[in-house]
Structure 1
Amino acid sequence: MKRTLRTTLLTVGALIAALGLPAGAAHADTTPRVDLRVLVVSDGGPATDAIAAELTAAGTPYTEIDLTRSGRPVIDAGFLADTVDGRPRARFQAVVLPNDNPFPAGSAEMGALAAYEQTYDVPQVDAYTYARPEAGLQYPTQGGYSGSVDGVRAEVTAAGKAGPFGYLDGAVPFEDNDPAVGESYAYLSRPVAGADFTPYVEATIPGRPTKGTLVGEFRHDGRRELVVTFVYNQYQQQFRLLARGIVEWMTGGVHLGASRNYFAVHVDDMLAADDRWNTELNCTPGDVDCRDPGATPDPIRMTPADVDHAIAWQNSKDFTLDFAYNGAGSVDHREDNNGVDLLADKLIADRDEFRWINHTYTHAFLGCVQDTTVVPWRCATNADGSTRWVSRNDISDEIADNRVWGETARLPLENGELVTGEHSGMKVLPQQTEDNPNLAPALDDNDITWLASDNSRESAQRRIGPATTVPRYPMNIFYNAGRVAEQVDEYNWIYTSRAQGGSGICEDNPATTTCLPAPLDTATGYADVIVPLEKRIALGHVLANDPKPHFIHQSNLAEERIAYPVLNGVLDGYQALFADNTPLVNLRMKDIGAELQRRALWQAALQDGEVTAYRIGDTVTVQAQAGLAVTATLPTGSTVGGAAFGEAYAGAVSGWTPSTGAPLSLTLPASAEAPAADSSERPAPATDPAPEVRVPAGVTERVPYTPDN
């Protein structure tokens, strides 16, 4: 036994020497360079994919190795570390594995990783592992649990709050969106007696008064592992809640990239009136596609009381709505009501309570000239067959006239922001396959820099003349509904089969995620089905570090004010989950556009290998091309150029700082421990393979695996 141990120790010692640190006390003060890059070792499963997605969204660089692919790089000492300018370099600041040991017995690759982690104090995340002594936990059969945790309410422990999960209020609810589908599987157990194991997230073991660990830190053999014992994908709320803490734990709170929780709501058609859905005709009189001879428009328009309600609601939620206005709506209303428009008067009096966006003067369609003699409409053509386009002057007038109306009313505008009616002017499939060529010049005429687009049509930013698009999420609260019964009736019509009296869209497109097996009850369907679903979708965007705004319409704040249950669900749900140090970020359109634009440039620079970053002691050095905004998350008290870096968020500081092309130096506070080289002999790490991790088929096959589900 002693001989075997000595042989293994010699092997580990050889690996440590190969990692670039000469053995011996004379070199103990050598401070290594640690590159700010994560190594993600994937088995193709959803857990490692989820962590990789979190790193991508934050802008944190990583290298991924897929164990299922032939010809992949071999993980050995030379792959993990080398020497730069005479200084030992660790090429990765953290390691993510599919489980605590995904390699065969006696694997040289696992041995190299263990030695690397020991030498450079590099932490390891076990993305989803079986509870076993090698991971610091008892087997689930020893008073623990293996099975579904759908609907379980887990809790962050005191150690978790004091550590990497201090941004959470405590509760970590697991989703249970479909009782017929297994969505989350977990192993709940207690730490092995005598193990150096700290639980961070726990849940009650079914049938027992004790709690079992779902996430915890295991320290052994000179290594640190974050052990996760439940399976997840990148869209599930339980992962989204814990993702920030996983990254902060593995990086020690020092990494490139940043993550925040954003929510903005644009209310379109302010001052105008929205035509109402007709529950008998199954269309919207006044809309170009509602050609029934008995169709009579029935407009929905806010009242001064609705404005008072909106202000009181904002104050109670510490949240600001963005009102996208159409000035002609007020002009027309005054003409029809002897010069009186109480709504406009109220909004103008309370203009500073909201943010305002130019939504064009009359809400005209600014793309091709619409031929409405057919349903659906089509683009009108000239005699030669070419498309007839709305002119540059007409588009420019729509923008400029509305701006003048807003300036006359002294609305607090940002003149570079614009939302066109129905996002028109840009391509609209299937009828209009390209942008109106007159749109870009008209935007230039009016100095428009940020143009709203529909995220369901185009999810990426793009340039249109001088403007950059800002994709917006449409909420499934319909523009033509001011009452619950109308909303549910239209929802039923859209998402049920033709045999049930619906549109049949789900039969034509089975991938539609909101299809209904049967019509909803018009009295209860909104509160029981639509509100929870829309809240879940929107909150999912919030928790995904996604700043894109959502949009509804003024009709949804009128009459029965049907938008508020969904908005309350998002805001109250968020408040119940997060600590005060992690507030919801509520940006206006131009700031959202700038954030998305900076991210796109940053991601491109990372993909092109144009960013290098590393840490030596308490100094982080970033090399990037001149003009690129660099993003990072660092401990509170970090500085750049002698000034405080970033803004406080989630217990750290994060933000952007410009690069001049010269090395950018960021100084960490003394409290931020630097990785220390350690070449002393340690007990050999275990290299036995983990038992095959049980993943029920429902986890990877039946749970919807899309951004909205």
Structure 2
Amino acid sequence: MAHTAHRWRNAAAVAAAAGLLTLGLSVPGAAAAEDPRIDLRVLVVDNGDSSVKAITDQLKTTGIPYTTVDLNASNRPAITSAFLSDTVNGRPRAKFQGVVSPNEAPFGAGSAEQTALENYERTYGIPQVDAYTWAHPGVGLDYTTEGGWAGSLDGHEASVTAEGRAGSFGYLDGAFAFEDNDPTVPESYGYAARPRAGFTSYVDVPVPGGTGRGSLVGEYSHDGRRELVVTFAYNQYQQQFRLLARGIVEWLTQGIHLGQARNYFAVHVDDVFAPDARWDTERNCTPGDIDCVGGGGEEAPPIRMTAADATYAAQWQRDHGFKLDMVYNAGSGEEWKTENGGTDALADRLLADKAQYRWINHTYTHPFLGCVQDTSTVPWSCAKNANGSTQYMSRSEISAQIRNNYNWGVNKGLPLDRTELVTGEHSGLKTLPQQPADNPNLAGALADNGVKWIASDNSREPAQRSVGAALTVPRYPMNVYYNTGTEQEMADEYNWIYTSTADGGSGICENNPASTCLPEPLDAATGYDDHIVPQEARIALGHVIGNDPRPHYAHQSNLAEGRILYPVLDRVLADYQALFAADTPVENLAQGAIGTELQRRAAWQNAVTNGSVTAYRIGKTVTVNAPSGTQIPVTAPEGTVKQLLLGTSAFGTPYAGKRSAWTTPALLQSAVTLKLP
């Protein structure tokens, strides 16, 4: 379902409401006698617009502390000099390092609050982002009637200018297109205008129907203040914002802030060595599944990779510089071997190339590890004991499934991490509506086998949570179905799910507000490449560029027969490489590393929310205090060093033109101290 920005304005309406819409940016003022203390926290002035919420979301996911002033709240604090600044031990303090404003003058031009804000920005050199405003001289732009343009930007191609690439937007390669996911719905309105004196454009677009280029994002320096002026509407889900979000935040914080953001992509391939059942295009179900009526004994040949498919997978990885996570069921593979003459060319090939992949335990034979399923009815239910309690798989049975699969892998020399586990169908964890709680025997079995990271389904449980001493790692399911090996099967099942009953589909989409019916069924021959691949690649890329480390998952069946997963992965990686510079690569993390990242983020957010983090910059020194043992995320310019008890060391690792890391105070120190270049 397309996410759209809803704020449409015509020039007349905007001009009439100029007092409410005008925004201003901050510029450094005169140097003080001593360097002031500038706290590493952002002020967000929120009027409820989607653009402000989008930038706020970027601050939160990055890990940057911020304070929100809700303009719609009657009890909000007044913006005064005392609210914005004070002194600490006699040193002037700016309480905020940057300001996010809905427009250039959120409190009204000339008002006491607007004047206080502008004076603060001027005095301390605090930058301001105007989240969305119209093109006019008050923000350093000509009116759109003077060689510019206003209208829908859907489908238009914008570019990062040379000045943008030399500054905060240098992580982008240059050009990108505004989303146009639904031609019948306007998704992003904007004003493309010519810069005036003092304005430097960072992102621009060819003026539609005119000549030259008009700015969409740029810096307006005036009256001792600096503003980043954004003249198009957006929300936090749209790709054009996701691409620019990093640069907006880096400009706002001058590249020095708490938190860090990177682009992540990991792909788990479940059921390796096991065969997967095949979708029945006649009955519109999967024979062998509980809810497939009349399925017993009528299963079509299952879908399973061949040795040639394994050879292709290894070569694909080498060609793309990308590593897949093979999530394997050894016992299912052994059963296959026994049933097929005692040999398994697929297993032989995968094991010969074992060092080229990451491997994750998926249990020995992929059983359901939750309650005992009563399949006498559709849908199934949990079987009950005589006393009415739920029957569950025992701790010893679960533990054996984990242990036997792990031991098989160790004996075969797989590069395994015993702390990582993916259960079949994420079973053992709660499964609504039938099993509203985890199998009470699961946590003990995980502990028996040293499991610290257990995969969960992000569509059911997007937040990380504990299972005994272990933590979940939510995974994104890809709309490339486990029971399809060809594009035609995939299009057929997709049609069944996403078309109305009148068009021969299930009609599920008609009753589910979170889903959208296809206007007409996809062509079985072309629908996969023309519709499903670009849509799934766009969704996955949205996760990748959203600072979201959660892995995606598909199945070995999607690497078999028609090898239908590769077009999606190819599209994601190709689109990414076309958008981002070489210094901003995709981070391809293992499951344990992803779990650790999510765990650290949760602990950091808790520390920030509790007010137990203090961070500030005085001149070229950054100081951060946090609760003992807390991993602290920091982003800083190249050349930054960490102060040690004696001497310094290079700080962080390079990414997107900055250096960032999770860090803790050095030996015998109580705070993190960084020296800026």
C-alpha displacement at 1:662, in angstroms?
5.5
d(CA) in 1 for partners of 2:554 and 2:210?
A: 46
2:530 to 528, 531, 535: 528
Q: Kindly report which structure 2 residues correspond to 1:654-693, keeping only aligned pairs within 5 A, or say none.
A: 654-659=660-665, 663-670=670-677
Whether 2:458 is the aligned partner of 1:451: answer no
In structure 2, the residue matched to 1:651 is: 657
Distance in 2, matches of 1:495 and 1:144, equals 41
- Structure 2: how far apart are the matches of 1:451 and 1:568? 28
Pairing of 1:100-111 with structure 2 (within 5 A): 100-111=104-115
Q: Which amino acid is the alignment partner of residue 85 of structure 2?
A: A
Name the counterpart of 1:227: 229
Amino acid at match of 2:283: L
Under a length normalisation based on structure 1, what TM-score does the superposition of the two structures give?
Answer: 0.89
1:222-260 CA distances to partner (integer Å, 9 max, x unpaired)? 111111111100010000000000111111100000000
Question: 1:628, 1:659 within 8 Å by CA — same for their partners in 2?
Answer: no
Q: Distance in 1 between matches of 2:146 and 2:71?
A: 32
Alignment of 1:470-619 (within 5 A): 470-512=473-515, 514-619=516-621
State whether structure 2 residue 347 is matched by structure 1 residue 366.
no
Tell me the CA shift for residue 29 of structure 1. Answer: 2.4
Cα offset, 1:665, TM superposition: 3.6
Checking the alignment, whether the CA contact within 8 Å between 1:626 and 1:662 is kept in structure 2 is no
The amino acid that maps onto 1:348 is: L
Please tell me whether the aligned partners of residues 634 and 668 of structure 1 are also in contact (alpha carbons under 8 angstroms). Answer: no
Structure 2 portions without partners, runs of 5+? 1-27
Question: In 2, are the aligned partners of 1:145 and 1:189 still within 8 Å (CA)?
Answer: yes
SS in 2 for 1:226: strand
Pairing 1:44-193 to 2, within 5 Å after superposition? 44-192=48-196
| Secondary structure in structure 2 of the residue aligned to 1:282 | coil
Q: Which amino acid is 2:140 matched to?
A: G
Displacement of 1:293: 5.0
Q: 1:411 aligns with which of 392, 409, 414?
A: 414
Shift of 1:298: 2.2
Tell me which residue corresponds to 1:5.
Answer: none
Q: Which residue of 2 aligns with 1:17?
A: none
Q: Distance in 1 between matches of 2:385 and 2:511?
A: 33
Structure 2: distance between partners of 1:355 and 1:288: 32
| Sequence identity (%) | 61
After superposition, give the CA deviation of every residue in 1:70-114 in whole Å (9 maximum; x if it has no partner).
111111100000000000000000111111112224211111111
Match of 1:399 among 399, 402, 422: 402
**How many positions carry a matched residue from both structures?**
644
Measured against aligned partners, the alpha-carbon deviations of 1:299-338 in whole angstroms (never above 9, x if no partner) come to 1000111111111111111100000000012211221122
Please tell me whether the aligned partners of residues 147 and 211 of structure 2 are also in contact (alpha carbons under 8 angstroms). no
Report deviation, 1:345.
0.6
For normalisation by structure 2, the TM-score amounts to 0.93
Which whole-Å CA distance do the structure 2 matches of 1:482 and 1:648 have between them? 40
Q: 1:421 aligns with which of 421, 424, 449?
A: 424
Task: State the Cα distance separating 1:527 from its structure 2 match.
Answer: 1.1
Cα shift at 1:668: 3.1
Counterpart of 1:13 in structure 2 is none
The residue number in structure 1 matching 2:251 is 249
Q: Which residue of 1 aligns with 2:3?
A: none
Q: Does 1:631 align with 2:663?
A: no
Within 1, Cα distance between the matches of 2:110 and 2:208?
A: 37
Q: Work out the CA distance in 2 between the residues paired with 1:510 and 1:115.
A: 48
Which fold has the larger relative contact order, with Cα–Cα distance below 8 Å and residues 6 or more apart in sequence? 1
Partner secondary structure for residue 434 of structure 2: coil
Residues 623, 662 of structure 1: 8 Å contact kept: no
Correspondences of 1:199-278 after superposition (within 5 Å): 199-278=201-280
The whole-number CA distance in structure 1 between the counterparts of 2:670 and 2:521 is 61
Gaps of 5+ in 1: 1-20, 671-709
State how far apart, in whole Å, the 1-side matches of 2:251 and 2:73 are: 29
Shift of 1:628: 0.3
- Where has structure 1 moved over 3 Å in runs of 4 or more? 659-663
2:23 corresponds in structure 1 to none
The amino acid of 2:663's aligned partner reads T
Which of 283, 286, 290 is 1:284 aligned to? 286
Partner Cα separation in structure 2 for residue 587 and residue 227 of structure 1: 36
Q: Is the 8 A contact 2:278 2:299 kept in 1?
A: no
Question: CA contact under 8 A between 1:625 and 1:659: conserved in structure 2?
Answer: no
Question: How far 1:518 sits from its partner (Å)?
Answer: 2.3
Which residue of 31, 34, 37 corresponds with 1:33?
37
Note if contact 1:635-1:668 (Cα within 8 Å) is conserved in structure 2.
no
Q: Distance in 2 between matches of 1:663 and 1:172?
A: 45
